[in-house]
Structure 1
Amino acid sequence: MAGRAAAILGMLVLAHVAAAQFTQQGGKLVGSGAVGPAHQGYSVALSAHGNTAIVTGYGDDAFAGAAWVFTRGEGVWSQEGSKLVGADATGVARFGKSVAVSADGNTAIVSGPYDDANTGAAWLFTRSNGVWSQQGSKLVGTGAVGNAEQGWSAAISADGATAIVGGAFDNSNTGAAWVYTLAGGVWSQQGGKLVGTGAAGGAAQGYSVAISADGNTAILGGVADNSFAGAVWVFTRSAGVWSQQGGKLVGSDAVGGAFQGYSVAVSADGNTAIVGGYGDNATTGAAWVFTRSAGVWSQQGSKLVGSDAAGDAAQGWSVAISANGNAAAVGGPSDNFNAGAAWLYTRSAGAWSQQGGKLAGTGAVGAANQGAVAISADGTTVIAGGSYDDAKAGAAWVFVTPGCAPPVIAVQPQGRTILSGETATLSVTAAGTPALTYQWYQGDAGDTSAPVGADASTFTTPPLIATTSFWVRVSNACGAADSAAATITLGRRARRHLRRAT
């Protein structure tokens, strides 16, 4: 009965979230320690659970640039530490042109395409016990031709171990991207630069980049391809080697020079991509969704255009997508005389539809150009940056789904007795605002020192040779719930008594 009730509650919560309008959470975020008009909010990033946000300001300190980290606790946002600045920048780097963060929020990549006279670079930062520090030296890819402006875009895998950096102006605006991997705390370039085939003219590949959760699928946007029609290229990695997957992707219903590939994002599994083109239809702007099946990409539905835009909004200037690919955010900084806005879309049975009205943060001073967007893995938290707020000081706004319900465990995992060397299957039933995530641990309830490699509602133990306890933490954007510990006890095999024949 409890399982049935939990299932019904879960369906009701899901229906509520799908239909609900996002609302602003708190006031706008403005980092302290800025020097001059920092343009905070030019680029933004969110961790998987939406509890860590990074807001960059490439204009800080006369365009040296900086990044600010904010964390959320019980629905309240606060700045974490001082602003981040790359330690080994050369000249005016415009650090903060692009930013991305790992799923757990503990690894960030921040780029500066103007570093070293437009050679460009990217910097990695890691967090330990709430303290951020630069990880190694700046990354500069080999094989660049001319001033590539590496760092025009950047992205990082969910585990923080694979990064991609776009250099849109490499080789006379042909463009390229460089991939880096982390091993033993050291970042190194993986293979040569990536350049897609089939480009028409100087495509500026790498103007935008995205990477899947496992780091094995990468997407490069080339905004200038075919006289600014724009396109994107997909690459996949196998055994450490990258290769192009199929031909370039171009949305079929563009109007005029759409600038497709100005922005791009990809789902966790790499099978759903969203591509922004803010120039479509005389800068009304739009976004296109593509899906992959058996290695073949195709457009899914018609282009996405927000229904309540005011003027030429430049929709598609920025795009973001949830981990499962079923929720997307599209930014349009020129909406309503450059006030800016964001539009949310959800996918059901392969069809996309707008979710509620456009989002525009309150408390803006002047035309903020709200339009840089990021979305949490579960699609329940969205951040929008407005780099022109308050005379270019800049700011960011966070939006969440209303009535977010933290997880509630309806059916606890149950202990049992097994024989030595056998496995046991444990399961938990929980309800709450989707998406729920699961992490199993070995030990007493609340002891997180021994996580196991299981992140689903059901967990099968390895073969056990001693009595062992396991428990699970269920989380979503607005809270977490810990189960009771389930103890797996080892029993003895029953002895068979044979009667001696007389």
Structure 2
Amino acid sequence: MAGRAAAILGMLVLAHVAAAQFTQQGGKLVGSGAVGPAHQGYSVALSAHGNTAIVTGYGDDAFAGAAWVFTRGEGVWSQEGSKLVGADATGVARFGKSVAVSADGNTAIVSGPYDDANTGAAWLFTRSNGVWSQQGSKLVGTGAVGNAEQGWSAAISADGATAIVGGAFDNSNTGAAWVYTLAGGVWSQQGGKLVGTGAAGGAAQGYSVAISADGNTAILGGVADNSFAGAVWVFTRSAGVWSQQGGKLVGSDAVGAAFQGYSVAVSADGNTAIVGGYGDNATTGAAWVFTRSAGVWSQQGSKLVGSDAAGDAAQGWSVAISANGNAAAVGGPSDNFNAGAAWLYTRSAGAWSQQGGKLAGTGAVGAANQGAVAISADGTTVIAGGSYDDAKAGAAWVFVTPGCAPPVIAVQPQGRTILSGETATLSVTAAGTPALTYQWYQGDAGDTSAPVGADASTFTTPPLIATTSFWVRVSNACGAADSAAATITLGRRARRHLRRAT
């Protein structure tokens, strides 16, 4: 029954996404503390639930670069902490060329391909109680040939324990990618660099990278392959060893030098990939979808081209895909004289179709070049970055499905009395636009010391030796609701009174 209910919920989520046009949520996001024209929005990332966004600006502080974190609470976005910068960068790193974030939003990777005279590097950051800090030293892969510009692209697995970093200019533009894994709080390179076979010329592999939720499938885009026709390569990991899966992938209906592989994204299970090629058809641009079945990849349908573009939009400059692979976003920064826009697509029964009109954020100043995109796991939240907004200060815009109902708690968690050392199971019933997420906290309503693993509608406490209260926050893309506190009281064991025989 649980599997059937999950499947029905998934279909309802997809139906909701497919039936509704996205609308902008709040004003544009601009991080504080920028120095000079920061180009905020050059790269963007969203956590799985869509409540944490990272916006980078590689131009900050004379191209040293920076990243800004924003969080959403009850439908309102606010900056979380100060801007992030790599503590051990060497020279003008252009930190923020690429960014990715784990599913829970607590681990981020930010790259800087110009670090140390174009050697390039990537940095990891983690969040604890709302505070971000760098995790270890910058990552620089071994085996590079020449100035690889490692960090031209970067991606991270859902659990934040596997990262991939592309170096598009390694070995005279052959390109490569490096994989890193986390163990005991320390990152280390896993195996040698990845280079796909079958390239035609200097393909610039690693110009874009993507990785599946479990970290076992990686996609490398090679934008310059075959005189900029472009291609992508797939690698899989088994027992810690990486190997290429099949030949390179090239969309079949490209027109001219399409630059396929300029951007890539992959679904959580690694079975659906989307590939952007902004040069297709004289920079009209397009995106291609590929699916995997029994280890074999094939193109799914025709290329995706937004129907309402204004001019040569360069669609495919950026792409993103939902966790289940049924919703995708495609950015085109050159649309409408460089105002930029994003297009949303959904898949039903293996067929892709455009969802509503293109998205363009309001409040832009000048030609913003809105074109960097990311999408939440459930496909209900999209962020678009425009790095040229307001004289290159840059900004980002968030879009959500309209008519989104914030959570409403129908049945509150109930307190009870237990014996010392026992556990108690609490539950909450809530309504609202799916998908709903849950987080339980210990203490009175408003306290935020979260019990480990308490992220479902039902929560079993640890063994209690004192009276304790718990409450839950239920969230979705458009808001949150906090329950009342449920107090678990400790009672005394009943005593048996024996009458002495006379």
TM-score, normalised with respect to structure 2: 0.86
Q: What is the CA deviation profile of residues 277-317 of structure 1, one whole-angstrom value per residue up to 9, with x for unaligned ones?
A: 00001100000111111111111111100000000000000
**Contact in 2 for aligned 1:88/1:137 (Cα 8 Å):** yes
Give, in angstroms, the shift of residue 246 of structure 1: 1.1
Give the direction of change, closer, same or farther, for the CA distance of 1:168–1:471 in structure 2 (3 Å limit).
Answer: same
- Answer with 120-129 or 147-156: which moved more: 120-129
1:36-67 CA-partner distances (Å, limit 9, x unpaired): 11111110111111111111111111111111
Structure 1 173/316 Cα, relative in aligned 2: closer, same or farther at 3 Å? same
Summarize the Cα distance change of 1:5–1:247 in structure 2 as closer, same or farther, 3 Å threshold.
Answer: closer
Q: Is the contact made by 1:319 and 1:328 (CA closer than 8 Å) also made in structure 2? A: yes
Query: CA offsets, 1:126-167, max 9 Å, x none?
Result: 111211111111100000000000000001111111110000
Deviation at 1:86, TM superposition (A): 0.6
Deviation at 1:105, TM superposition (A): 1.1
Residue 395 and residue 460 in structure 1: after superposition, are their counterparts in 2 closer, same or farther (change >3 A)? Answer: closer
- The share of aligned pairs that are identical, in percent, is 100
Contact 2:278 2:316 in 1 (8 A): yes
Does structure 2 retain, via aligned residues, the 8 Å contact 1:438–1:474?
yes
- Kindly tell me: are residues 303 and 3 of structure 1, through their superposed partners in 2, closer, same or farther at Cα, counting changes over 3 Å? closer
Distance 1:198 1:500 in 2: 93
| Counterpart in the other structure of 2:64 | 64
Residue 220 and residue 462 in structure 1: after superposition, are their counterparts in 2 closer, same or farther (change >3 A)? farther
Q: Label 1:460 to 1:54 Cα distance change in 2 as closer, same or farther (>3 A).
A: closer
How far the C-alpha of 1:478 sits from its partner, in A, is 2.9
Contact 2:136 2:187 in 1 (8 A): yes
In structure 1, how many angstroms separate the alpha carbons of the residues matched to 2:36 and 2:21? Answer: 35
When structure 1 is superposed on structure 2, of 431-440 and 137-146 the one drifting more is 431-440
Distance 1:55-1:308 versus aligned 2 partners, 3 A rule: same
**What's the secondary structure of 2:40's corresponding residue?**
coil
- Cα distance, 1:496 vs structure 2: 24
Q: How many angstroms apart in 2 are the aligned matches of 1:128 and 1:222?
A: 36
Point out the more displaced range, 419-428 or 273-282. Answer: 419-428
> Matched residues in 1 for 2:214 and 2:6: separation?
32
Segment drifting more, 254-263 vs 451-460: 451-460
Q: CA deviation at 1:461?
A: 13
Q: CA deviation at 1:319?
A: 0.3
Distance 1:458 1:117, change over 3 A: same
Displacement after TM superposition at 1:239 (Å)? 1.2
1:6 and 1:410 in contact (8 A); partners too: no
Change (3 A) 1:25 1:480: closer
3-state SS of paired residue (2:95): coil
Aligned in 2, Cα 1:421/1:261: closer, same or farther, shift over 3 Å? farther
Residue 82 of structure 1, CA deviation: 1.3
Change (3 A) 1:498 1:372: same
Separation of aligned partners in 2, 1:477 and 1:48: 11
For residues 164-198 of structure 1, what are the alpha-carbon distances to aligned partners after superposition, in whole Å with 9 as ceiling and x for unaligned? 00000000101000001111111111111011111
Larger CA deviation: 297-306 vs 141-150: 297-306
Instruction: Tell me the matched-pair count.
Output: 502
Distance 1:489 1:226, change over 3 A: farther
Deviations 1:66-119 (A, max 9, x none): 111111122111111111111111111111100111111111111000011100
SS state of the match for residue 364, structure 2?
Answer: coil
Answer yes or no: is the 8 Å Cα contact 1:35–1:61 preserved in 2. yes
In structure 2, do the counterparts of structure 1 residues 440 and 364 end up closer, same or farther at CA, with 3 Å as the change threshold? closer
Sort the Cα spacing of 1:459 and 1:341 in 2 relative to 1 into closer, same or farther, 3 A.
same
Q: In terms of mean alpha carbon deviation, does 403-412 or 229-238 score higher?
A: 403-412
CA distance in 2: counterparts of 1:111 and 1:2, whole angstroms: 41
- The aligned residue for residue 296 of structure 2 is 296
Return the alpha-carbon distance in structure 2 between the equivalents of residues 150 and 5 of structure 1.
44
Could you tell me whether the CA contact under 8 Å between 1:374 and 1:384 is conserved in 2? yes
Match of 1:267 in 2: 267
Change (3 A) 1:117 1:434: same
Is the Cα–Cα contact under 8 Å of residues 161 and 181 in structure 2 kept in the other structure? yes
- How far apart are residue 17 of structure 1 and its match? 3.5
CA 1:430–1:167 in 2, change beyond 3 Å: closer, same or farther?
Answer: same
Shift of 1:430: 5.8
Between the aligned partners of 2:417 and 2:87, the Cα distance in structure 1 is: 57
Structure 1 pair 443–291 and aligned structure 2 pair: CA distance change class (3 A): farther
Residues in 1 aligned to 2:381 and 2:165: alpha-carbon distance in whole angstroms: 26
Secondary structure of 1:41 counterpart: strand
Superposition deviation, residue 406 in structure 1: 3.1
Are residues 444 and 83 of structure 1, via their aligned partners in 2, closer, same or farther at CA, if it must alter by over 3 Å? closer
C-alpha change, 1:349 and 1:423, in structure 2 (3 Å) is farther
User: Does the CA contact (< 8 Å) of 1:6 and 1:430 recur in 2?
Assistant: no
Q: CA RMSD in A?
A: 4.7
How many Å separate the matches in 2 of 1:31 and 1:493? 57
Q: Is the 8 A contact 1:317 1:372 kept in 2?
A: yes
2-side partners of 1:269 and 1:298: how far apart?
16
What secondary structure sits across from 2:31 in the alignment?
A: coil
Cα displacement (A) at 1:434 = 2.7
Structure 1 residues 424 and 243: CA distance shift in structure 2, 3 A: farther
